Each structure stands twice: as structure tokens, then as C-alpha cells.
Amino acid sequence: MSDTHQAPPPPPPERRKFLKWVTHGLSALFGAVLGVPAVLYLIDPRNRPARAGDFKRVGKLSELEKNVPKQVVIRDVRRDAWTVHPNDVIGRVWLIRRDDDKIDAFTTTCPHLGCSIDYNAEQQLFVCPCHNGTFDLKGERQEQALGGGTNPAPRNMDALKVKLDADPVDPKGRLIEVKYEKFYQGEEDKKPKK
């Protein structure tokens, strides 16, 4: 029995050329379509890491009562392995408005082992809930921990740089900006993490 199936004849040279062009054209088109979101992602300022010198706006001067600490959050881009969180809470800061309207800012991260420091309004002290690390309203380490015993915190609360900017919608208003940084814990000296 003879084999009646034969391979189809190759397309003529012009057709081959045309198919080659179509194939390359489609590859280029897919490349462009898939590449556009990647480029947009890279040029979007929200996806760039905050630069070391960045100050973050945290509120208005008028929102702070004098000599009463107020906690604010710092937001920035945070990345997991696969996900970008463009406006996530990356830290917390205690702000205190002094009598002369200067602002002091301290990170809430305890210099002992990194728990979040609370404010005890009754005692007018900052107290860390983990091991009772205790600090006064200037962020200075107290020798004795609240409730007794030696304060385990090795140094004062970590102060942050603050600046006041003009408020574009309120000529008399001032906006507070804080340069948020993280520091190594458990050491007497304040050393910023890179």
C-alpha cells in the first residue's frame, strides 16, 4: 500500500519572507506591551526608595498642644519579596511642642531592644512597656526604671531632625517635617542604620 500523505511544498520565498516579518513584528509588539508597565513602574516616584535625607511631613504645628507629646506615623514605600506597599506605616514618632514653639521629635523605637515606647501622662514620662525603660519629656534616660530597678535602656531616646515649613494654604500655619531614621539598639552610642 503506497503512502498518499506527502509533506506540503515549502511556501514560496516571498511568503516565507512575509511570515518572518510578521513573526518578528509580533515579538517586538509583545515586548513593547509587556515592557511598558515595567517602565511605568520604575519611573513612578512612589516606587523609588526614600532617599536618606528625605523629610516626611507629619502634621501641623497648630495640632500640637504645648508640652504634651503626640504620636504621629511615618509613611513611605515598603517592599515585600513581591509586593510594593506605596503608602505603608514604616515608623512612629513622638513630637513635643516646646514653649518657644520649637519641636522635638523622638522615634518611638526603644534603644534597649526595639519595643515601641509609650507615654505615661500621669507620670509625665516616656515608658517602654517591655522592660520599663524610662525617659523624661526631653527624651533623657532616667537612671531608675518606672516601678523600680535599673533602667535597661543604654541611652536617651533617639532624637530626629525636625523642620517647620510654610503652609501653602494657611499663611500663618506651619507644617512639621521629620527626617525619619532607624538606629542600632542595645548600644550606648546612637548609630544610624544605613
- DSSP category for residue 12: P
Residue 183, C-beta contacts closer than 8 angstroms, at least 6 positions apart: 107, 109, 111, 158, 190, 191, 192, 193
Considering beta carbons, is residue 103 or 110 the nearer one to ligand FES?
A: 110
On the 0-12 / 13-18 / 19+ scale of CB atoms within 10 A, 164 is: middle
Smallest separation (angstroms) from ligand FES to the CB of 151: 8
Considering beta carbons, is residue 109 or 178 the nearer one to ligand FES?
A: 109
Considering beta carbons, is residue 90 or 130 the nearer one to ligand FES?
A: 130
Smallest separation (angstroms) from ligand FES to the CB of 143: 14
Residue type, 17: K
What 3-state class would DSSP assign to 151?
Answer: coil
Smallest separation (angstroms) from ligand FES to the CB of 164: 30
Q: Which three cell numbers stand for residue 154?
A: 543604654
Considering beta carbons, is residue 95 or 110 the nearer one to ligand FES?
A: 110
Residue type, 147: G
Smallest separation (angstroms) from ligand FES to the CB of 92: 14
Considering beta carbons, is residue 55 or 183 the nearer one to ligand FES?
A: 183
Task: Compute the distance between CA of residue 184 and CA of residue 187 in angstroms, rounded to an integer.
Answer: 7
Q: Give contact residues for ligand FES (rule: CB under 6 A).
A: 110, 112-113, 115, 128, 130-131, 133, 152-153
CA distances from residue 156 to 53, 55, 143, 146, 168 in whole angstroms, order as listed: 23, 22, 11, 15, 35
Q: Which three cell numbers stand for residue 66?
A: 504645648
Considering beta carbons, is residue 56 or 112 the nearer one to ligand FES?
A: 112
Smallest separation (angstroms) from ligand FES to the CB of 142: 12
Smallest separation (angstroms) from ligand FES to the CB of 127: 9
- DSSP category for residue 9: P
